[in-house]
Structure 1
């Protein structure tokens, strides 16, 4: 907590000036002394809501309640933040500024959590001069738990004089507890209330220090969190539920410490020696399923992928852990040695069989978008698949490699996070059923994460019966050698499983999407804040703008679009000569001028940069900016004056450009078309209106632009994008799991009714708009890099995974497609077009789309990058463009806001914010944009899967035709044209033999029954909610 910020509200003339200094270690490991001038005052308010000395009398009903004043030491704040911020018994938590200064250097995560916790709480004023203003505008909340940030460094009775005692930052934090607790004990003892004081720590050193000061104070106890919970358990039966479970408190099962299931990790010395000698390797573990993962390591400056197969070899590691791996000289060469550690081989096999039946409930839907995504396969699972049932088909593996195998012998850094899921239900026949429903004793339960790559987690809770059928958020605390599963604790309850709002909250939580309301400080940045009237541009808004309100401008968007970023216009340029046969046009792309309202170094800009992108779910939109901007002030809606940033070209019918320029404009869009409406106008030859002629001209030029792009090597890829059509009732019955219990009349009137699921149908107008948006993005990229070559934000698409393209080529050749070439983007683009002429595709045209989908899976993901730190070039492989950026969607993408500022500065309209010249800032920003864009894409796909599940739940078993797009020894990946998604179907291995060379599956009893790539099969599709996983299952219907 910066002292300088607080000093601004003091009357400096009445305060004593002091110097505060401390020693700190920088992130680079250097030691430096930090000194601040602070002002210390003689009087301060305590901030405690029941203190009648500071805030006057309070309701009598509150006086009988025992108040717990908690002073957590830094070790408790570091290790038990969930407990400190959420436990019901902690009615008043006091955290001195000195402690916050220490945590600001060592635990920023806690600082952020604390900030989020208290932002909606009514904090009482600490300064006497602020109290009168507070009393005029707010009332005191006597019932909520308090988190009081106490300014010990600015109060004479708690200030530690540096001229007398020298402390480092950590010691300042600990000693501030002594000073602050002493003052609070003396101060609050005068109040007419039952008060207990607790100092929480587990540090033996600080226990001794605190005892030396407070052992004589009867109402002040120095306890560990577990001792504290035990002390208050009679009053707060649920207290401690967010503490990590400790076996010393409650034994689980009859485990003995020396009965290991998993091998112990190697020591730091053994790991260091092994890495130096080259027989141990380190890398990030990427899980394919719950019992199979891969670690990519460097071996003699060569990348090598090591397969980790089985729970024992994974050795308590989870997805994203930074691990140490030992290679197996032969496949499972140490299996017998590992089994010597097993307490019960039979039990482990039972656990593995149990886990093999768990499948993904989130993240399995493929949605198309404008980028190429390494995790873009639909992955609807089948519960019958063993061992590989939860494999991520993000990059299709077309044949099995004799991959190198290994086992994990150490974990250098854990990647534990928060996981959403539900508890395995307890049946009435379970011995724990009555116990869990009739006592407040901690009971062990098994938590099943939604993410199929995360193991089940043992939790111990007093809320066992309350948590039945709930969506929970759980964190891992530890994973001992003697436990099949890690242990953890609950940090959040999202709501009833199956409830639409709950399931949506799960998606947003898993994908880390900020869906909270915008803060008052953000809303104050809006131009019409507090006025309540519709915004209209004034003279200041119109300064330096070209007035185009009289021009024919229109937008073309999906149906229901409210955040309209872009609009188009086209005018025939009067020829210079009457004999000229060539027509030139003035074509403009008008983009919402969001940066006119979102200025740098403002609250709204900071919030937009953190969110980075608007997240589109099937049934809702999570905006990057406040709705007033996105759907009104910035949105280029029809018949409203709106500010825009315009990209202009002088272009002919051959798409030759003789001039390009940019300006700020004001427009008044005359029409807001959907793609279908615009297409119908173009196709209606009887319609010769001005707007129809403009649309046809734009269409004609866009087709030439597209043809030229493809000729340069742009790749026409495809994805199985899904369209969901639904009706939403005002009076929603939102429990998805009980839909089948309602009759058809009830369903249509009281639930969200999903009417259909189908492949998205692209129109020529989709392509028309896309071409001009691409052209604008390329034009802007060239402009900004010419002016700011060292700080541009661009978008790059790396070259594809050539090993996967080679495998795809081999597989396609087995089915008669022999002209698949991929030396560069041009040859790949040409071969994808030539494939359309092959006999295989002519017989079944949908195969052409499927080949493009399969090719998409071999692509790497496009990413934002900054030219200040890029060493990988600027080429966009998919578009075959040397320079590309995002300019056309500033309402929904923060990257476009940054590019708008670059463009505005490049044409001299306003100076560039200095922070954008900072290489570290731009590099960090580009990483944030990539991460948040990826999360928003995945959240959208998760939402679509939820609605596909809902469709299947409402409509029952669906029988239709599917096409095989991947063959494995125990499963098939099937594309379902009717619904536009893909899913994994299990195969009975006892009935089929697998031929890896083709690859295909041959029926052992019926030789004519062969399942191979692009074969058509009948499938049944239905919903399953086992363990609340909301799965969509595909089964193959055998031929009769």
Structure 2
């Protein structure tokens, strides 16, 4: 909340307000502040002639104005946030209290009160993907208003009575201010209801008000126009009110108690659990925040980001760029949830270890978890193997089930180019999260703290180069969010578990099962729902949560799309009116002054090459044949223009459209729809380099000699007019048609030759070509996405590589320009080297199939090894190798010039580039717009906003770019998986051939030859499969323990492919049939 400096005015007075604060030295300081009470505070109501200084009036004076107390806001925040009920006034005193004591609720309340025009009430911005800013919520500044200010009462230790007085004072003043207002207080508090009754103020509970609202004609009219809440949603949000509707006396007693406790339990909002007095704690209590701060200073604990490898079994806490702590087992994970910022205490190495790379991840149900605890027998299994006995000791008959929870589904999804490789750990985002929390905790965090712990406490681990092990002792910051998934009934025989207790399986396999208290099984059964976690106490195996919204039925395309958007935090809200006001008119034409300032390429042969049906065309190429001296052909040089849409011309710095784009960061492409970063007037019209239209561009001009060496580079603002928009296939056909000797055909052939020359040069330097034949395309019937008629491999033409080569060339060149001329503000793309141990494991696999020339010490060695295997004409092995090498890679990330301390931090490993950035796709990537603005500053076209020189802003924006860019890729993959599932469901279960690409202790990863994709096949011990860890293979035995066959890397097998209706991700399921 930001306030302007106040001056004394006639009729104003000021009071002193004091509070106590713990400083960095753990001393309590008394803070005294002067509060100026003004007599000109705006009421915030439309058509109010008295408040002349109102800049923005939010509330509708002709409708009922609601004032909610603190308890109602806390209890029904999700309802207020999700459903269309508004015209609500929030007292600043309540707003500030929530801000101080519960950051999660505060974020939602801030979004509700967010003013998109002025941001005058609330600082920051909304990150909600579906929130509608047209709601009327207003924060009334009662603590600065002379007529509504209430002094502190020393006897009122929790501030409870003060809240009642403030609400009554606000209502009385508003009625005196405008006697025509219809004001209603919403509260469950009997004391407040009684005070309202004594002062003739209407008061009711929120449940009573909504019931009354739904019976009125006004609601019925609005409901037809798309209002969200109905009886089903009311049952979900007001479940307790419905159950207690006929037991008012009991409810009255509990409500009064609940209100009094609100001030002490604001940080512990949860469902009431059963009496735990007789239960044995399953977890250790967490340290308090003050204890964690103290232990951090004393180097006794480590702060890091909790990253789940196998839910409830194994996690890593990364606390530096290279160091991480292994957290093994539910007990030591201690109720931490994926992406929480946690405090970890170092412990001795456990007796047995579970390694991330040993298992494939598979979530097990609560029933299976219970079975694991009940059985504690120890057995021995002997297997005959080539004349020798291998003894396998199993500490638990169901240990296999424990191990089966270890498949990482993400491992089989790495299908994209190395530039966009996924890795679960993102250092930049983690550091930004930690730094943000440190500021909120008002402590100075010394980066040496964790290093001192690592060096001083664990010298034994370092000297022996062993892993660090630890246990979670506290949660510094919860990564709370709303999870999408499905609710299943929890069938068990325990008497103390009521029938209404159900479990929720999240879309994200890293999230544990969430127990749900629900009375409405029929409404929630087999539905896609959104659930939030309320609490996880030391007596409960699983966290407790509640359902806050129902998305729809399983397998419904619209519902599953919503689920993907929710899981990856994709903003789907419509652009605001202020954003649209930034756009030029539909009939906009290029102004005359731009023709004078820009280079004219309208008469130069120019064309674009894109996927079929592409509308947002970012780039185009122009070709000119120039003579250097005389008419001798050998002296001809070639001038190639890489023209990129000049989006920064339309998207002005700090404008509403710029702010919105900076939050979205990228366009998201799903199979059935896309979510644009910018409005369509720009993406598909004014910025798109369509055929036959004059367009503004930012262009890189390259001059080549006859040997295709670059002899000159320049960056210019240009105007072009594309002669032709090709698809990749159309352009390839022109190149291949020897009878076509047109200028366009000659130009395309020249570009193809130059592209091959560039690609070969970069390959010699160590650039990796990891694009295999693993991408798929869907064919639908008449654009009906529910009817996929075919699934086929994506065909990559030479023209794909042609465009890629010139885009890479432009990006490399621009990166060098911005870094040399404006290092501090430059936005670069970094790709660190891969993990050596993963490549070593891949090398061991390749040796088993007689591939001994796989080298990987440098990117050049790795590139040559991949190319050598390509020459063997084994397309299946080539594709598998590229997929597996991709999995070994670290993630490519954005980085700001501020954080570049040496040349190694600039290098892009996958491209063998000393420096790299994104410049060529500003229509769909905000990073490219930032780079365009830096170029504008360098060439003195436009002054760069000073925020680009602010390291805090730049690091925060770069972290957001990484987060949004990654989520967009994951969302696209999830969409492909879902439509693959629908296709298999349509054609029925299939028997297909596959190749084994990886073996873990509980299953194999496979490559489906006919479907050009990967999958997972679990191999169970109960089915006779035993894993030989030494030789990295599975042995199939019969009931007499005789070996039938074994499965190794690159073996061909037959699997039964079927849809998995239970799996929340709607993926295909594979069952082993036989070895072929």
1:987: how far off?
A: 1.8
1:285, 1:318 within 8 Å by CA — same for their partners in 2? yes
Write the mapping of 1:757-772 to structure 2, written as runs, cut at 5 A: 757-772=791-806
Residues 917-928 of structure 1: pairs in structure 2 closer than 5 A: 917-928=949-960
Say whether residues 1:319 and 2:333 are aligned partners: no
Q: Give the distance between the partners of 1:402 and 1:55, measured in 2 at CA.
A: 61
How far off its partner does 1:214 sit? 7.3
User: How do 1:472-491 residues align onto structure 2 when only pairs under 5 Å count?
Assistant: 472-491=529-548
Q: Structure 1 length as normaliser, TM-score? A: 0.77
Partner residue in 2 for 1:395: none
- Deviation, 1:829, is 1.7
Cα shift at 1:499: 1.3
How far apart, in 1, do the equivalents of 2:407 and 2:1063 lie? 10
State the partner residue of 2:421. 373
Partner of 1:182: 169
Which blocks of at least 5 consecutive residues in structure 2 are unaligned? 49-56, 122-133, 216-230, 244-253, 259-269, 355-366, 376-397, 426-464
Once residues 453 and 670 of structure 1 are traced to their aligned partners in structure 2, the CA distance between those partners, rounded to angstroms, is 50
Q: Matches of 1:319 and 1:724 in 2, distance apart?
A: 33
Residue 41 of structure 1, CA deviation: 3.1
Q: Distance in 2 between matches of 1:155 and 1:278?
A: 47
* Change in 2 beyond 3 A, CA 1:240/1:519: same
Distance in 2, matches of 1:147 and 1:927, equals 31
Mapped partners of 1:173, 1:885: distance in 2: 56
Say which SS state the counterpart of residue 724 (structure 1) adopts: strand
1:891 and 2:911 correspond: no
Q: For structure 1, which segment, 655-664 or 287-296, has the greater mean C-alpha deviation from structure 2 after superposition?
A: 287-296
User: 1:655, 1:701 within 8 Å by CA — same for their partners in 2?
Assistant: yes
Which residue number corresponds to residue 82 of structure 1?
78
Tell me the secondary structure at the aligned position of residue 1009 of structure 1: strand
Q: How far does residue 273 in structure 1 lie from its aligned partner after superposition?
A: 9.8
- The answer to whether structure 1 residue 292 and structure 2 residue 313 are counterparts is yes
2:606 to 543, 546, 553: 553
Q: 1:778 aligns with which of 798, 812, 837?
A: 812
Query: Which residue pairs with 1:956 in the alignment?
Result: 988
Once the two structures are TM-superposed, the CA of residue 156 in structure 1 deviates from its matched residue by 5.1
664, 684, 688: which is aligned to 1:611? 664
Select the residue among 967, 985, 1000 that pairs with 2:999.
Answer: 967
CA RMSD, 1 decimal: 5.1
Q: Kindly report which structure 2 residues correspond to 1:3-22, keeping only aligned pairs within 5 A, or say none.
A: none
Bigger shift: 1021-1030 or 173-182?
A: 173-182
User: Cα distance, 1:888 vs. partner?
Assistant: 0.2
Does 2:345 match 1:306? no
Partner of 1:583: 636
1:902 maps to what in 2?
Answer: 934
1:858 positional shift: 1.2
TM-superposition CA deviations, 1:59-81 (whole Å, max 9, x none): 9xx9xxxx8944333x8757864
Looking at structure 2, the residues matched to 684 and 889 of structure 1 have their Cα atoms a distance apart, in angstroms, of: 30
* Residue among 997, 1020, 1023 paired with 2:1059: 1023
Gapped regions of structure 1 (runs ≥ 5): 127-143, 335-341, 378-400, 437-442, 733-750
Corresponding residue to 2:1030 among 977, 986, 997: 997
Quote how far apart the aligned CAs of 1:701 are: 0.6
Give distance in 2, aligned partners of 1:410 and 1:57.
46
- Shift of residue 323 of structure 1? 4.6
Change over 3 Å in CA distance of 1:996–1:40 after alignment to 2: same
Residue 95 of structure 1 corresponds to: 90
Whether the 8 Å contact between 1:595 and 1:901 is mirrored in structure 2 is: yes
Q: Does 991-1000 or 631-640 show the bigger shift?
A: 991-1000
1:280·1:327 contact (CA, 8 Å) conserved in 2? no
Do the aligned partners of 2:606 and 2:620 also contact (CA within 8 Å) in 1? yes
Q: Distance in 2 between matches of 1:36 and 1:689?
A: 79
Counterpart selection for 2:68 from 71, 74, 82 = 71
Partner of 1:848: 878
Return 542-551 or 1024-1033, whichever deviates more: 1024-1033
> In the alignment, what sits opposite 1:542?
595
Aligned length: 925
How big is each residue's C-alpha offset from its partner over 1:562-620, in whole Å with a ceiling of 9 and x where there is no partner? 10000001111113144462431010000000001000010000000000000111111
Change (3 A) 1:270 1:898: closer
What's the offset of the Cα at 1:420?
0.6
Q: Deviations over 1:317-337 (max 9, x none)?
A: 322232535535542699xxx
- Deviation string, structure 1 residues 397-440 (Cα, Å, up to 9, x no partner): xxxx997766545444433321111211589x99999x99xxxx
Residue of structure 2 equivalent to 1:497: 554
Distance 2:117 2:819 in 1: 48
Aligned position for 1:595: 648
The answer to whether 1:562 aligns with 2:626 is no
Q: Describe the SS at the equivalent of 2:913.
A: coil
Contact preservation (8 Å) 2:831, 2:892: yes
CA contact (8 A) 1:887 1:896 kept: yes
What secondary structure sits across from 2:850 in the alignment? coil
Is the alpha carbon distance of 1:173 and 1:108 closer, same or farther for their aligned partners in structure 2, counting shifts above 3 Å? farther
Distance 1:965 1:97, change over 3 A: same
Q: Please report how far the alpha carbon of residue 652 of structure 1 lies from its aligned counterpart in structure 2 after TM superposition.
A: 2.3
Q: 1:296 Cα deviation (Å)?
A: 3.8
Which residue of the partner structure matches residue 158 of structure 1? Answer: 148
- Relative to 1, partners in 2 of residues 1:618 and 1:226: Cα closer, same or farther, differing over 3 Å? closer
- 1:942 equivalent in structure 2: 974
1:418 aligns with 2:482: yes
* Distance change in 2, residues 1:358/1:181 (3 Å): farther
Q: Do residues 258 (structure 1) and 278 (structure 2) align?
A: yes
Q: What is aligned with 1:40?
A: 39
- What whole-Å deviation, never above 9, does each CA across 1:250-284 have from its counterpart, x for those lacking one? 99897643312613336559989998999976643
Deviates more, 1:956-965 or 1:22-31: 22-31
Contact kept? 1:363, 1:941, Cα under 8 Å: no
| 2-structure distance, mates of 1:24, 1:678 | 72
Using the alignment, how far apart are the partners of 2:501 and 2:213 within structure 1? 21
Of 983, 990, 994 in structure 1, the residue corresponding to residue 1015 of structure 2 is 983
Residue 113, structure 1, aligned to residue 108, structure 2: yes
1:856/1:976 CA distance change after superposition, 3 Å: same
C-alpha separation between the residues in 1 aligned to 2:82 and 2:59?
28
Alignment of 1:241-280 (within 5 A): 241=239, 256-260=276-280, 262-265=282-285, 267=287
Q: Distance in 2 between matches of 1:242 and 1:874?
A: 57
Cα deviation, residue 22, structure 1: 7.0
Structure 2 matches for 1:677-696, cutoff 5 A? 677-696=730-749
Which moves more between the two structures, 146-155 or 483-492?
A: 146-155
TM superposition shift of 1:114: 3.9
Partners of 2:725 and 2:98 in 1: how far apart?
52
Deviation track 1:741-792 (CA, whole Å, cap 9, x = no partner) reads xxxxxxxxxx621122333221111111011001101111111122212211
Residues 131-530 of structure 1: matches in 2 within 5 Å? 147-152=137-142, 157-158=147-148, 178-185=165-172, 197-198=185-186, 240-241=238-239, 256-260=276-280, 262-265=282-285, 267=287, 283-296=304-317, 303-309=323-329, 311-321=330-340, 322-325=342-345, 327=347, 329-331=349-351, 348=373, 365-369=413-417, 371-375=419-423, 408-425=472-489, 443-528=500-585
Rate the CA distance shift 1:719–1:22 in 2: closer, same or farther, 3 A: farther
Moved more, 1023-1032 or 768-777: 1023-1032
